[in-house]
């Protein structure tokens, strides 16, 4: 993966996440689900940053830790879920109840970014196998 391809991949994550955000916001509005726009923006922003961070991290480690990149990806994915408990869970559970809409406010951007990130990194890791 070249630096140009790295930038394109991060922009792909941002583009798809923005589309998912618009759809998520629209569904919340149509069903009158009480979720603040700030919470949605915060959740999508954090997930985009973490997904792009993982892509950049694997790009930087591609030569030194080539055989361990898959494990690093899995560890980073787990670490992203830990971020939920550090950044989101205390606010969502402040009233003692984690509602479905609060959970989905985190989980939908997490899954969207994880899927896009997985597809990008799958192609990246497969391309490394071709150059052995």
Contacts of 106 (CB under 8 A, 6+ apart): 43, 84, 88, 92
Residue among 16, 44, 63 nearest 104 (CA): 44
Task: State the Cα–Cα distance between residues 38 and 69, nearest whole angstrom.
Answer: 34
Q: What is the pTM of this model?
A: 0.89
Give the pLDDT band (50/70/90) at residue 92.
Answer: confident
Total residues belonging to the chain: 132
Per-residue pLDDT, averaged over 17-27, amounts to 95
């Amino acid at each position: 993966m070249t630096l140009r391809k790295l930038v394109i991949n991060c922009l792909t994550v941002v583009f798809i996440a923005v589309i998912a955000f618009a759809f998520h916001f629209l569904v919340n509005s149509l069903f009158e689900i009480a979720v603040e726009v700030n919470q949605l923006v915060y959740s999508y922003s954090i997930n985009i940053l973490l997904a792009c961070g993982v892509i950049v991290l694997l790009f930087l480690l591609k030569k030194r830790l080539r055989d361990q990149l898959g494990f690093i990806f899995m560890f980073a994915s787990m670490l992203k879920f830990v971020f939920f408990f550090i950044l989101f869970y205390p606010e969502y559970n402040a009233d003692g109840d984690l509602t479905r809409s609060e959970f989905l406010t985190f989980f939908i951007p997490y899954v969207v970014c994880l899927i896009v990130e997985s597809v990008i990194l799958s192609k990246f890791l497969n391309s490394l196998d071709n150059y052995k």
